[in-house]
Amino acid sequence: MQVIGICRFSYPGHGGFQVQHDSLEERIAYLYAADRLEERFRFLETFTLPGLRAQFDPDFTFLIVIGDSLPDRHRRRLEALVADIPQAVIQSHPPGRHRAVMQSAINSVRHTGSEPCLQFRLDDDDAVAFSYVHKLRRAAADVSGLLRENRQIAIDFNQGYIARPGPDGIAAKPIQNPYWTAGLALMFRPDVPMSVMNFGHHSVFKTMPTVTFTGEDMMLRGHNGFNDSRQGARAKPVALTPLDRDGELLFQMTYGIDADHVRRVFSAPL
């Protein structure tokens, strides 16, 4: 059963963001602003990639979609960060309708055949546990019978953390929340060309069966000033507590996130 993860790395498409802009040029200027892009790279390096680099089950594809307007120096930096991750594939796309571009990108790496396809999405400040792909594939095998009557189903791992990195380390809060992007995957029948990016993650339960697994830390949501979901006036503050040594060890053993590495990276001047 093929597993595909997708990450939009500051892709400037039409739609796909809660932050609105009057023109594509304004969106590109916002996404590629020096401070924002530097923070994106730091999150990607310290939060997102470590857990993917050491998945217990290495049989997956991690697709990173960028805009064709991303400056060359930033593309080279991205390529260097994923050079030791054989599952990583970087694709460059011109601006287009967000969902259509993402569906096309995923389908370009999707295998044809008789088996279902598992797909998940990660923002560039999120993370998954070392065991994520292994547990996802095992869960999919357990619930695959639901595809006899349904085109797709959702598999949700609802336990993990919200976390914010900084020069002093990591502050975090444990959570159990359904249908967050970092813990959610969709399983598609082989004849269905849709993708995980065709569905709003908070409303998947309205259009397909969902199965939720809990009791184990599987996902992590990065918290920062540029979170798309935190730009609205109704965004609620989140109380995070600095990790102690035991908490730092848990993050290292679960997600591969090294608190000392976080301190070094986020202490560097912008």
Q: Where are the domains of the chain?
A: 2-267
CA 242, 245, 247, 251 dihedral sign is positive
Query: How does pLDDT run across 60-108, given as a tens digit for each residue?
Result: 999 999 999 999 999 999 999 999 999 999 999 999 998 999 999 999 9
* pLDDT, position 231: 43
pLDDT at 199 over 60: yes
Query: How does pLDDT run across 6-52, given as a tens digit for each residue?
Result: 999 999 987 655 566 668 889 899 999 999 999 999 999 999 999 99
Cα 97 off chain centre by: 20
Query: How does pLDDT run across 143-196, given as a tens digit for each residue?
Result: 999 999 999 999 999 999 999 999 999 999 999 999 999 999 999 999 999 999
Architecture of domain 2-267: Alpha-Beta Complex (3.90)
Query: How does pLDDT run across 99-145, given as a tens digit for each residue?
Result: 999 999 999 999 988 999 999 999 999 999 999 999 999 999 999 99
Cβ–Cβ < 8 Å for 48, 126: yes
What do you get for the CA distance between the two ends of the chain, in Å? Answer: 42
Query: How does pLDDT run across 240-253, given as a tens digit for each residue?
Result: 999 999 999 999 99
pTM for the structure as a whole: 0.92
* pLDDT, position 22: 66
Tally of CB atoms within 10 A around 92: 14
The neighbouring-strand residues paired with 172 are 163, 241
Q: How far apart (Å, rounded) are the C-alpha atoms in residues 217 and 92?
A: 33
Q: How confident is the model at residue 232 (pLDDT cuts 50, 70, 90)?
A: very low
* Residue 237 neighbours by CB under 8 Å, 6+ apart: none
